[in-house]
Structure 1
Amino acid sequence: MENPKPKYRRVLLKLSGEAFAGGKEYGIDPAFLEYISMEIKSVWELGVQTAIVIGGGNIFRGVEGESMGIERAVGDYMGMLATVINALALQSALEKVANVPTRVLSALEIRQVAEPYIRRRAIRHLEKGRVVIFAAGTGNPFFSTDTAGALRALEIEAELYIKATKVDGIYTDDPYKNPEAQFIEEITYLEVINRGIRVMDHTAMTLCKDNKLPIMVINIYKPNNLKRAVLGEKVGSLIKGG
């Protein structure tokens, strides 16, 4: 049986560092690594060129450093290094568990463990069928990994930015706190900004809006959601237009 035809040729997946911790408060959960590797493989097998940006919150958050007396810029660089650790862990799992060729490109130069980020090289890896993991955010302090995801998605000309979360998409309120919260299937960038819906930070959302990059918010913990998203099925919430 032939694989179904994906709607998107090239996508960028944004994973949070917290997801890597699994049920733990800190570190990397091997079970999640195995699960997410197979989810990514299901998309890769469709021939979809897949890039990934990972947060580092399971190891260190730059904003938390200030409470320890660490200045914000230094804390952000520490957070970037945390994303490199997550990227290397995911690369190892993708290659060993899922048998998917993978490259890590880092915005901070760490040649012993990752290639330096070069836009044309990243695109070439994707064209050759390799999953590309972008590490170290944008390489600059004061920018979130959500913004790094938007920036890299635009640089590689991705057709969709997939924001992985632990809920089914966007709601009128926090569904964990308010059972009356209503699910929003489709919404415009401006509505998200004006209503203060916390999908991603303002800089990332504005980048996507200005460049008309659609964002799909999905529950990554539901098996096959990632595959369904790239096939164009109705899954999660879609942000576009306006």
Structure 2
Amino acid sequence: MVTVISLGGSIVAPDSLDTDFIAAFIQLLKDELASDEKRRFILVVGGGGPARKYQQAYRSIVPSGSDEQADWIGIMATRLNAQLLKAVLGELCTQEVVTDPSQVGPFVGRVLVAAGWKPGFSTDFDAVLLAERFQADKVINLSNIAKVYTDDPRKNSNAKPIDAISWADFRSIVGDDWIPGKNVPFDPVASRHAAKIGLKVICAAGKDLDNLKKILSDQPFFGTIIG
């Protein structure tokens, strides 16, 4: 059984690296793997605070700079985060970090770690492609957002949390266009492809590891189901 987790950079490195969270998250994975020899994980990690800082630096130096260059900067941050996770996982992750989900070979070992691929979308899209490639039935999207809301709750006090939502309704909230550094519950490009292939996505707060355990064991959890 393959479980795909889109691990938001906002929880791995909200400003700088959160080593306490990384250690606790990896221990949870190890416990899950030890309890079920058939379980395997694919981790797709985002860029987080470092990506935004470097993108902002680029924009401040070159105000007319291109989205493509800003995307590449963010992608490189995801790859550094992913390389750290691979190193921490040790023998559980025997393959190199995946940077092109369209060319990935067989899944060897217990954990596969992936990072950003190319400009035009976030690592959420990579997670969807890897779920499709390895026939996972869902993507667990962990970020600093506990639930999807009807609107941005930071800007609209009337925004309501959502327990479950269709892809059509979700896409009407996030739109269709990707902007480097865009802060949405799930990437619009990834959402379009997930809807096309009928993939379910669970959005939940990444640092609530007790809640993640419930998701992994199919127990009632706090979050939003899209699909």
- Coarse TM-score class (shorter-chain normalised): 0.7 to 0.9
Note the 1:25-104 alignment, pairs <5 A: 25=15, 27-45=16-34, 46=36, 47-61=38-52, 64=56, 65-69=58-62, 70-95=65-90, 101-102=92-93, 103-104=95-96
- Change beyond 3 A, Cα 1:148–1:66: farther
- Change beyond 3 A, Cα 1:118–1:176: same
TM norm structure 1: 0.76
- Change beyond 3 A, Cα 1:120–1:59: same
Which amino acid in 1 is paired with 2:39? V
1:131 pairs, out of 111, 117, 120, with 111
TM norm structure 2: 0.80
Long gaps (5+) in structure 1: 1-8, 109-115
1:214 pairs, out of 179, 186, 200, with 200
Q: What is the root-mean-square deviation of aligned Cα atoms in Å? A: 2.6
1:171 pairs, out of 149, 152, 157, with 149
Residues in 1 aligned to 2:61 and 2:48: alpha-carbon distance in whole angstroms: 16
Residues in 2 aligned to 1:63 and 1:237: alpha-carbon distance in whole angstroms: 29
- 8 Å Cα contact 1:39-1:226 kept in structure 2: no
Q: Helix, strand or coil: the match of 1:105?
A: coil
Long gaps (5+) in structure 2: 176-183
Corresponding position: 1:150 with 2:136: no
Instruction: Name 2:162's counterpart in structure 1.
Output: 184
Between Structure 1 and Structure 2, which shows a larger proportion of helix residues?
2
